[in-house]
A and B are shown apart, each in its own frame.
Chain A
Amino acid sequence: MSETSNHAGSRLDPEPIPRRDFLGLSSLGAMCASLIFAGVGIFRLPKAAVLSSPSKKFKVALPESLPAGQGFTPPGRSVALFRDEEGVYAISLVCTHLGCIVKSAPEGFECPCHGSRFAADGAVAKGPAPRALPWLQVSGAGVEYLVDEDATVPPGTKVKA
Chain B
Amino acid sequence: MSNETPPKSALREFLGNLVSAPGRIYRAAFRTGTPTTDRTRSNFIFQNVFLHLHAVRTHRWSLRWSTTMGLGIAALAAFLITLVTGILLMCYYKPSPEDAYNSIKDIHFIVPTGRFIRNIHRWAANIMVITVILHMARVFFTAAYRKPREFNWLIGMGLLVTTLGLSFTGYLLPWDQLAYWAITIGANIAQSPREVTDALNITASFDPGGMQRQLLLGSDVVGEEALIRFNLLHVMVLPLLLSALLAVHFWRIRKDGGLTRPEDADKLLGPPPADTYPVFTEAPQKTYHLAAIVRGRTPAVNQAPENTIPSMPHLFYAELGVFMLTVLVCVGLAMFLNAPLKELANPSVPENPAKAPWYFLGLQELVSFSAFMGGTGIPAIVLIGLGLIPFLDREQRGTGEWFGGPGGWPLVKQAIAVGSAATLLVETIAIRFGWLREWFPHIPQLVITFVNPGTIIASIYAVYSIWLVKRYNSARAGALGLFTCFLCGFLILTAIGTYFRGPNWDFYWSPAQWPKH
User: Taking CB as reference atom, which chain B residue is nearest A123?
Assistant: B441
Q: Which residues of B312-350 are within 8 A (CB) of A?
A: 347-350
Q: Which residues of A103-139 are within 8 A (CB) of B?
A: 110-115, 124-128, 130-131
Is there a chain B Cβ closer than 8 Å to A98's Cβ?
yes
Task: Tell whether A130 pairs with B350 under 8 Å between CB atoms, given A51-B220, A111-B504, A124-B441.
Answer: no
Interface residues on A, range: 20 to 34
With both chains docked as a complex, state the minimum distance between the C-beta of A37 and any C-beta of chain B, in angstroms. Answer: 18
Q: Which A residues touch B214, using CB under 8 A? A: 47-48
With both chains docked as a complex, state the minimum distance between the C-beta of B509 and any C-beta of chain A, in angstroms. Answer: 17
Q: Is the pair B181, A100 in contact by a Cβ cutoff of 8 Å?
A: yes
Task: Tell whether A99 pairs with B185 under 8 Å between CB atoms, given A48-B225, A131-B445.
Answer: yes
Q: Is the pair B189, A48 in contact by a Cβ cutoff of 8 Å?
A: no
Task: Tell whether A99 pairs with B184 under 8 Å between CB atoms, given A114-B367, A128-B371.
Answer: yes
Q: Is the pair A52, B219 in contact by a Cβ cutoff of 8 Å?
A: yes
- Measured CA separation A136–B438 after assembly (Å): 26
Is there a chain B Cβ closer than 8 Å to A78's Cβ?
yes
Is there a chain A Cβ closer than 8 Å to B436's Cβ?
yes
- Measured CA separation A77–B349 after assembly (Å): 11
Interface residues on B, range: 35 or more
User: Taking CB as reference atom, which chain A residue is nearest B507?
Assistant: A115
Q: Which A residues touch B296, using CB under 8 A? A: none
A100 contact from B185, B198, B223, Cβ within 8 A: B185
Q: Which residues of A49-84 are within 8 A (CB) of B?
A: 51-53, 73, 76-78
Task: Tell whether A98 pairs with B506 under 8 Å between CB atoms, given A48-B218, A78-B348.
Answer: no
Q: Which A residues touch B181, using CB under 8 A? A: 100, 113
- Measured CA separation A126–B347 after assembly (Å): 24
A126 contact from B220, B221, B224, B438, Cβ within 8 A: B438
A114 contact from B199, B351, B438, B505, Cβ within 8 A: B505
A53 contact from B219, B364, B367, Cβ within 8 A: B219
Q: Which A residues touch B364, using CB under 8 A? A: 114
B215 contact from A47, A52, A77, A112, Cβ within 8 A: A47
User: Taking CB as reference atom, which chain B residue is nearest A126?
Assistant: B438
Q: Which B residues touch A115, using CB under 8 A? A: 368, 504-506
Q: Is the pair A52, B225 in contact by a Cβ cutoff of 8 Å?
A: yes
Q: Which A residues touch B185, using CB under 8 A? A: 98-100, 113
Q: Which A residues touch B354, using CB under 8 A? A: 100, 112-113
Q: Which residues of B475-517 are within 8 A (CB) of A?
A: 503-506
With both chains docked as a complex, state the minimum distance between the C-beta of B455 and any C-beta of chain A, in angstroms. Answer: 13
- Measured CA separation A47–B347 after assembly (Å): 23
Task: Tell whether A52 pairs with B434 under 8 Å between CB atoms, given A78-B348, A100-B350.
Answer: no
Q: Is the pair B505, A113 in contact by a Cβ cutoff of 8 Å?
A: yes
- Measured CA separation A48–B198 after assembly (Å): 23
Is there a chain B Cβ closer than 8 Å to A101's Cβ?
yes
What total of A-B pairs shows CB separation below 8 Å?
A: 105
Q: Which B residues touch A47, using CB under 8 A? A: 211, 214-215
Q: Is the pair B352, A112 in contact by a Cβ cutoff of 8 Å?
A: yes
Q: Which B residues touch A22, using CB under 8 A? A: none
Q: Which residues of B356-370 are within 8 A (CB) of A?
A: 364, 367-370
Q: Is the pair A98, B438 in contact by a Cβ cutoff of 8 Å?
A: no
Q: Which residues of B184-237 are within 8 A (CB) of A?
A: 184-185, 187-189, 192, 195, 198-199, 211, 214-215, 218-221, 223-225, 229
Q: Is the pair B506, A126 in contact by a Cβ cutoff of 8 Å?
A: no
- Measured CA separation A143–B30 after assembly (Å): 83
Is there a chain B Cβ closer than 8 Å to A39's Cβ?
no
With both chains docked as a complex, state the minimum distance between the C-beta of B413 and any C-beta of chain A, in angstroms. Answer: 34
- Measured CA separation A43–B505 after assembly (Å): 36
- Measured CA separation A141–B181 after assembly (Å): 36
- Measured CA separation A111–B350 after assembly (Å): 9
With both chains docked as a complex, state the minimum distance between the C-beta of A124 and any C-beta of chain B, in angstroms. Answer: 6
Q: Is the pair A43, B215 in contact by a Cβ cutoff of 8 Å?
A: yes
B198 contact from A52, A76, A97, A130, Cβ within 8 A: A130
Q: Is the pair A127, B436 in contact by a Cβ cutoff of 8 Å?
A: yes
Q: Is the pair B195, A46 in contact by a Cβ cutoff of 8 Å?
A: no
A131 contact from B198, B348, B349, B434, Cβ within 8 A: B198
Is there a chain A Cβ closer than 8 Å to B53's Cβ?
no
Q: Is the pair A113, B350 in contact by a Cβ cutoff of 8 Å?
A: yes
Q: Which B residues touch A124, using CB under 8 A? A: 437, 441
- Measured CA separation A114–B503 after assembly (Å): 9
Which of B184, B187, B434, B437 has most chain A Cβ within 10 Å? B437
User: Taking CB as reference atom, which chain B residue is nearest A113?
Assistant: B354
Q: Is the pair A130, B371 in contact by a Cβ cutoff of 8 Å?
A: yes
- Measured CA separation A127–B451 after assembly (Å): 13
Which of A52, A98, A125, A131 has most chain B Cβ within 10 Å? A98
With both chains docked as a complex, state the minimum distance between the C-beta of A115 and any C-beta of chain B, in angstroms. Answer: 4
Q: Which 8 A-B residue pairings sit nearest by Cβ, starting from the closest?
A: A127-B437, A112-B352, A114-B368, A98-B188, A99-B188, A100-B350, A115-B505, A130-B445
30 A–B contacts, CB within 8 A, in A order:
A47-B214, A52-B218, A52-B225, A77-B348, A97-B371, A98-B188, A99-B188, A100-B181, A100-B185, A101-B350, A112-B352, A112-B353, A112-B354, A112-B503, A112-B505, A113-B505, A114-B364, A114-B367, A114-B368, A115-B368, A115-B505, A124-B441, A126-B437, A127-B369, A127-B437, A127-B448, A128-B369, A130-B199, A130-B445, A130-B449
On A, residues with C-beta under 8 Å from B are: 43, 46-48, 51-53, 73, 76-78, 97-101, 110-115, 124-128, 130-131
On B, residues with C-beta under 8 Å from A are: 181, 184-185, 187-189, 192, 195, 198-199, 211, 214-215, 218-221, 223-225, 229, 347-354, 364, 367-371, 434-438, 441, 445, 448-449, 503-506
